[in-house]
Amino acid sequence: MSTEQPWSRAKGPFAAVFTAPALWLLFFFLVPLAIIWAYSFGTTQGLTDIDINGTFSNYVRIADPVYIEVFVKSLWYAALTTFLCLVVGFPVALAITFSSDRQKVWLLLLIMLPFWTNLLVRTYALMAVLRTEGFVNDMLGWVGLGPWPLLHNNFAVVFGLVYVNLPFLVLPLYSALDRLDRSLLEASLDLGAGHIRTIFEVVVPLALPGILSGLLITFIPALGSYLTPDLLGGPDSQMIANVIERQFKRANDWPFGSALSFILMYLTFFAIAAQGLVAKRRKGLEQ
């Protein structure tokens, strides 16, 4: 529909709007990334010097079972978090979609407000609630249970990831469900299918592309989480980001940290590509 103008026809205006952002992106984003990419093929010499000599030893080191385990665990936590967010968030998105306009504003605000709140503050709030002397254990104490160790373990990490990422999934889910043709749902109900069956056989297949992109939007930040495992986890709940941080700060092994960062980035791109492929295939099927 839109007719784009070739840049050479209006060089002045093009240069005026293009130059500054392009240079910014190049110098303050692509160059830093390129440097750690180069570092990932280097070795540390002495305390601070890094010799970029084209070695693959950093990538070979990642194949060590210790690091493979961290990657597998991170992928598993991110997948589990995404799944739990879907289970918790789907009914919420459904309720928002079919509510009146007035209710919709309030329900969206209900989901958005924690989302706007600082991540660190939210994580800290969870720490205070889950501690052994925290609120949840107090309540368990009243009914004669506990105290259970709820903080500084793997349970706390997944709980925290769901808590932090839930709005990421509810909002795209809502926008996917909101686009559905309601007459199809009503037809399904009129023809005798129950609500559960309608949801699984009509709503989910129709909204699948939107659901998938919502899952991706939740999965990516969950996979790269640093703060949640750092503050809520125990000694054995480190995720990739924590290992990367250690290489750059305490362990002072920048080349290895760079290699780990790039593997994490490749995993992210792989997830995006996989989602894109599924969406494309579905589009192909529909036509």
Partner 1 sequence: MSKKAAPLDYLSRWPLRLWLVLVAIFLYAPLLTLMAFSFNDSRRNIVWQGFTLDWYGAVFQDSDLLTAFGNSLTIAAISTVVSLILGAMVAVACWRFRFPLKPAFEGALALPIVVPEICMGVAMLVFFSRVMPWPDDLPWPFSLGAIIIAHISFSFPFVAVIVRARLASFNRELEEAAKDLGASEWRAFMDVLVPHMKPALIAGALLAFTLSLDDFVITFFTAGPDTVTFPVKVYSMVRFSVTPEVNAASTLLIVVTVLLTAIGLKMQGKDVAKMEGGQ
As measured in angstroms, the least distance from the Cβ of 108 to partner 1 is 10
As measured in angstroms, the least distance from the Cβ of 76 to partner 1 is 17
Does 2 participate in binding partner 1 (rule CB under 8 A)?
A: yes
Judged by beta carbon, residue 12 or residue 285, the one nearer partner 1 is 12
Q: How far apart are CA 136 and CA 132, in angstroms?
A: 8
Within 216-255, the residues that bind partner 1 by CB under 8 A are 220-221, 223-224, 226-227, 231, 240-241, 244-245, 248, 254
As measured in angstroms, the least distance from the Cβ of 236 to partner 1 is 19
Question: Kind and range of the H or E element at 237?
Answer: none
User: Nearest Cα to 167, choosing from 122, 229, 134, 103?
Assistant: 122
Does 76 participate in binding partner 1 (rule CB under 8 A)?
A: no
Residue with tokens 């280097």: 42
Query: Sign of dihedral through CA atoms 118, 230, 269, 206?
Result: negative
Phi, psi angle pair for 149, to nearest 5°:
-75, 105
Judged by beta carbon, residue 118 or residue 287, the one nearer partner 1 is 118
Q: Which two tokens mark 170? A: 């509810």
Within 259-278, the residues that bind partner 1 by CB under 8 A are 261-262, 264-265, 268-269, 272
C-beta separation of 48 from 62 below 8 A:
no
Tell me the window of 63-71, 140-148, 257-265, 277-285 that interacts with partner 1 (CB under 8 A). 257-265
Does 88 participate in binding partner 1 (rule CB under 8 A)?
A: yes
